[in-house]
């Protein structure tokens, strides 16, 4: 077990320049807090930007900063110039990824120059990590600034454990597909072994994009890609519960709370806390509050909205306009409803320090959290944790990630002004008994799944994925195993070799395979040895296989076990099967083709295949389920079976299979060398029938009864060529 390497855009230590030189202080963000326990471990490092542009200080000062970060804070600084920060962070990250992933596609500026800079900075991070990381290390990469990094690291450190966590929403496929560099972004993230999101919705969107853009399906959120299994899961980020739940006991917080009570005596307080951003829905929030005041004059001079907006990206035009819009709405509201002694909105354009913010939490009757999109929103969780009296109510946007956990909150559509106004009234009039019941439930949840649990949960899952990967690597057909296999082959007198066709000898769906193909010629060489019995197994029609293996002395099992022929024999049925059932099933399949664009029916003598490879995946999944329901009774009455493979559903007689046909062949002689190679679950019956000393080989990484794995059809061809060239 190697060390832990944490990687994020910014380090957990903040660096600032003063007259006396660089000053270092711990970052106060939730991520730094959550990963503190990992970073405090003896063998750990944090890699990121220091916060100081490399061209704003002398080379000597930059060296001092880097050395002190390494020696005193176990951190590795990635130097970024002002131009790099401008194009990479403010350009690509904040002007393309941020608006697109928060469902503001019209705000995205797709400049190729910015993409080039994003890739270049990710490469710079990769070089910094590779200077300190080893192949047995655990590397945890964070957020949208570094989505290319996992692939870059996995390429150089194939056995390292790499986790990636996205702290913002992952958008739906229809939004994500707008990104010109969508394939590269997905490929970068898929370099990870574990991909984490705040909610299952984000994970589902990611899996949908992988399926539709990369063309890779998943099974139970496990993606088989690049001969690895990549796990995708949801890990809702928590807060430092202990810090917020005990804050009210601090004298400084109590003093702040007393000040708020004295200044707003007799007022019910509604609190809104956000960073300045168009994704937060602040203008709609103010309009909804104004509507509430219009509809409920009985609350005039009895309620105050404390609106805290932390400055952010103040030089960006969209943010400048947003600030103007907010301040205009505040002015209109206060001007319309305010009196000499009452200001409906107390507006603060600055962040509140911890003590002041926590004190405001404890004195607020309602927390108003209405983002249009938000990866999680920790403000809602902090508010609950700070209210140790179990008082207060939350009005929470259903599009915030926290809504999946805080179900006791009043959930609203952030675009529905009347609904938000009604929710404000509901929150203000909620009984103390209901507040107590709701908040106790949320307290227990937040206490149990806090920021430290979140980090540990992710690392535990990454370790579990790593063990699975290791179990697969242990069964890889290494050079040593290959040498033993060839030695056993040479020593044997009677050899039986089963080779699957699609996905094993040739790539799945290959249409242009000919007798001159190198792999087919290699099979011919093996079959020409009188000591060998070579059997090609396939779901393809016998006519296709006859054409490909013409004049080669090979046995063939076709149609998933319906037909077989010996080296120089005629075709025979393995069982007495019928095809009269096709008259019933074929019209149903054709109906579903009509209802599902991109599908077709492939018909052979004793089977029917509904092929949905080119169909829209979500629609195909729905139609597949409907189709299986529609023909279930027919398959039961006619002794048929449904065979599901990648993008196809095959209906055939249940009395025949590749495994049964292979077993019959296996039992025709006494073999002292047996090898079977296949690529999908229909080959598992063949693997299970073999003796423990026989060689069963699976193409691609997957759960299998096979003893060994190889990467691809190309690896199969190379193995067969080595065997064919082995001298007797």
- Bridge partners (DSSP) of residue 259 are none
Among candidate residues 156, 431, 425, 483, the one with its CA nearest the CA of residue 297: 425
Cα separation, 364 vs 379, in Å, equals: 13
Cβ proximity of 246 and 289 under 8 Å: no
Q: Where is 422: in which H helix or E strand? A: helix 417-428
The dihedral through the CA atoms of 439, 443, 446, 450 has a sign that is positive
Instruction: Name 727's Cβ contacts closer than 8 Å, sequence gap at least 6.
Output: 490
* Backbone angles phi and psi of 608, in degrees to 5: -130, 140
The tokens 């061809």 sit on which residue? 717
Q: Does residue 500 carry a catalytic annotation?
A: yes
Cα separation, 305 vs 539, in Å, equals: 69
How many alpha carbons lie under 13 Å from residue 400 in its C-beta half-sphere? 30
DSSP H helices, 210-316, are 241-245, 251-263, 282-295
* Backbone angles phi and psi of 161, in degrees to 5: -95, 115
How many alpha carbons lie under 13 Å from residue 591 in its C-beta half-sphere? 9
DSSP 692: T
Rounded (to 5) percent helix, strand, coil in the chain: 45, 20, 30
DSSP 570: -
Coil, strand or helix at 438: helix
- Burial grade of 220 (CB within 10 A; 0-12, 13-18, 19 or more): exposed
Coil, strand or helix at 664: helix
Q: Which of 274, 500, 502, 679 is catalytic?
A: 500
Instruction: Name 651's Cβ contacts closer than 8 Å, sequence gap at least 6.
Output: 585, 589, 607, 608, 609, 610, 631, 635, 640, 641, 642, 643
Q: How many helices (H) and strands (E) does the chain have?
A: 27, 29
Instruction: Name 724's Cβ contacts closer than 8 Å, sequence gap at least 6.
Output: 522, 525, 526
Cα separation, 272 vs 308, in Å, equals: 6
Chain length of the chain? 728
How far CA 349 is from CA of 318, 338, 697, in Å, comes to 17, 20, 65
Which runs of E-coded beta strand occur in 143-209? 161-165, 194-197
Tokens of 389: 């009296």
Among candidate residues 563, 585, 603, the one with its CA nearest the CA of residue 641: 585
Cα separation, 668 vs 247, in Å, equals: 79
- Burial grade of 470 (CB within 10 A; 0-12, 13-18, 19 or more): exposed
* Backbone angles phi and psi of 405, in degrees to 5: -100, -35
Q: Where is 7: in which H helix or E strand? A: strand 4-10
Tokens of 25: 């202080």
* Catalytically active residues, by annotation: 500
């Amino acid at each position: 077990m190697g060390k832990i390497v944490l990687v994020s855009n910014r380090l957990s230590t903040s660096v600032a320049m003063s007259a006396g030189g660089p000053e270092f202080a711990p970052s106060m963000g939730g991520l730094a807090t959550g990963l503190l326990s990992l970073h405090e471990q003896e063998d750990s490092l944090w890699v990121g930007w220091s916060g100081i542009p490399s061209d704003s200080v002398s080379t000597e000062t930059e060296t001092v900063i880097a050395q002190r970060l390494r020696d005193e804070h176990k951190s590795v600084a990635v130097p970024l110039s002002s131009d790099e920060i401008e194009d990479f962070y403010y350009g690509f990250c904040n002007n393309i990824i941020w608006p697109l992933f928060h469902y503001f596609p019209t705000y995205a500026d797709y400049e190729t120059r910015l993409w080039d800079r994003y890739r270049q900075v990710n490469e710079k991070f990769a070089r910094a990590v590779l200077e300190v990381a080893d192949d047995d290390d655990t590397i945890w990469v964070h957020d949208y600034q570094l989505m290319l990094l996992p692939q870059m690291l996995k390429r150089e450190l194939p056995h390292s454990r790499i986790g990636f966590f996205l702290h913002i929403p992952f958008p739906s496929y229809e939004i994500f597909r707008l990104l010109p560099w969508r394939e590269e972004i997905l490929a970068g993230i898929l370099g990870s072994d574990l991909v984490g999101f705040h909610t299952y919705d984000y994970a589902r969107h990611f899996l949908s994009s992988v399926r539709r853009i990369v063309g890779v399906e998943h099974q139970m959120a496990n993606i088989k890609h690049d001969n690895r299994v990549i796990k995708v899961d949801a890990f809702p980020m928590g807060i430092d519960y202990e810090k917020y739940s005990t804050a009210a006991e601090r004298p400084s917080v109590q003093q702040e709370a007393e000040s708020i009570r004295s200044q707003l005596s007799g007022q019910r307080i509604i609190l809104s806390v956000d960073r300045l951003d168009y994704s937060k829905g602040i203008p709609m929030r103010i309009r909804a509050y104004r509507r509430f005041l219009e509809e409920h004059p009985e609350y005039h001079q009895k309620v105050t909205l404390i609106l805290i907006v932390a400055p952010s990206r103040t030089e960006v035009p969209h943010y400048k306009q947003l600030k103007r819009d907010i301040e205009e709405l505040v002015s209109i509201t206060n001007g319309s409803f305010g009196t000499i002694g009452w200001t409906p909105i107390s507006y603060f354009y600055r962040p509140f320090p911890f003590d002041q913010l926590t004190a405001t939490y404890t004195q607020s009757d309602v927390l108003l959290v209405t983002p249009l999109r938000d990866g999680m929103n920790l403000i809602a969780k902090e508010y609950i944790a700070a209210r140790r009296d179990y008082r207060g109510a939350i009005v929470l946007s259903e599009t915030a990630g926290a809504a999946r956990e805080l179900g006791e909150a009043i959930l609203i559509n952030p675009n529905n002004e009347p609904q938000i106004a009604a929710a404000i009234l509901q929150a203000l009039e909620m009984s103390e008994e209901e507040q107590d019941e709701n908040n106790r439930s949320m307290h227990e949840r937040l206490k149990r799944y806090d920021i430290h649990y979140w980090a540990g949960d992710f690392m535990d899952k990454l370790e579990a994925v790593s063990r699975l990967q290791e179990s697969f690597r242990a069964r890889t057909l290494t050079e040593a195993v290959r040498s033993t296999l060839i030695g056993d082959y040479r020593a044997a007198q009677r050899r039986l070799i089963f080779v699957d066709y699609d996905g094993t000898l040739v790539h799945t769906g290959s249409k242009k395979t000919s007798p001159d193909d190198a792999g087919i010629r290699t099979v011919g060489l093996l079959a020409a040895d009188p000591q060998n019995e070579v059997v090609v197994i396939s779901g393809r029609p016998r006519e296709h296989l006859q054409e490909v293996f013409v004049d080669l002395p090979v046995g063939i099992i076709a149609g998933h076990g319906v037909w077989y022929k010996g080296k120089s024999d005629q075709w025979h049925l393995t069982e007495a099967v019928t095809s009269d059932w096709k008259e019933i099933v074929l019209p149903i399949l054709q109906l579903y083709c009509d209802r599902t664009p991109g599908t077709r029916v492939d018909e052979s003598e004793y089977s029917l295949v509904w092929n949905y490879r080119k169909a829209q995946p979500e629609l195909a999944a729905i139609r597949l389920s409907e189709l299986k329901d529609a023909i279930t009774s027919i398959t039961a009455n006619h002794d048929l079976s449904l065979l599901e493979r990648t993008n196809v559903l095959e209906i055939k007689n249940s009395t025949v299979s590749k495994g049964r046909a292979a077993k019959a062949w296996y039992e025709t002689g006494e073999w002292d060398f047996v090898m079977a190679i296949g690529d999908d679950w229909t080959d598992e019956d063949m693997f299970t029938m073999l003796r423990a000393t026989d060689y069963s080989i699976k193409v691609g990484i997957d759960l299998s009864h096979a003893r060994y794995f190889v990467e691809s059809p190309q690896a199969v061809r190379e193995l067969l060529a080595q065997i064919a060239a082995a001298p007797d």
